[in-house]
Copies of this chain bind each other. A is one copy, B any other.
Amino acid sequence: MKQAENRGIFSDMNTMVSSDAARQGENCATWLARAGLRPTRQRCALAALLIGGGNRHLTAEALHGEAQGAAMGVSLATVYNTLKAFTAAGLLREIAIEPGRVYYDTRIDDHPHFYHESDGTIADAPVGSVAFASLPEAPEGMEIASVDVVVRLRAK
């Protein structure tokens, strides 16, 4: 049985890999190009919304709503396509929490989430609050891609 420390999972570092580049003043074109994506107006607009406000957990519908509110002309289909493209490029991560609804996380390292059952919102659990004493070995020929932890909360 491996120790969690050896895998670097859920460490205390507040890594925010996907937004580092943008925060450092690099422009959208370079940022997207580095992920192998053509920097279009729509993708830059969505990237700005995603990266602008720290770590976010949102659905395609929600992001589309924000884009509409900001009068960026981006269709819902493009939001879906772009989120999938960003995820495939490793800029975002999908969170499986609610059946029938995909959340995207702007933070892409393994880290635990709070899920509020009452209103369906997601938040990062406090940094360092979850630590493993042990993790399973992967079966023969397999390796661990990620470890998802969801702490479901309800009103007391």
A residues with CB within 8 A of B: 1, 4, 94, 96-102, 112, 114, 116-117, 125-126, 129-139, 141-156
Closest CB-CB distance, A125 to chain B, in whole Å? 5
Identical copies in the complex? 2
Contacts of A147 in B (CB 8 A): 149-152
If over half of A's interface residues share one DSSP class (helix, strand or loop), that class is named, otherwise mixed; here it is: strand
Considering only CB atoms, which chain B residue lies closest to A125 in the complex? B136
* From B94, B126, B154, contact of A99 by CB (8 A): B94
Assuming A144-B152, A148-B152, A154-B145, is B136 touching A133 (CB within 8 A)? no
* CB-based nearest B residue for A103: B99
A65 to chain B, nearest CB (A): 19
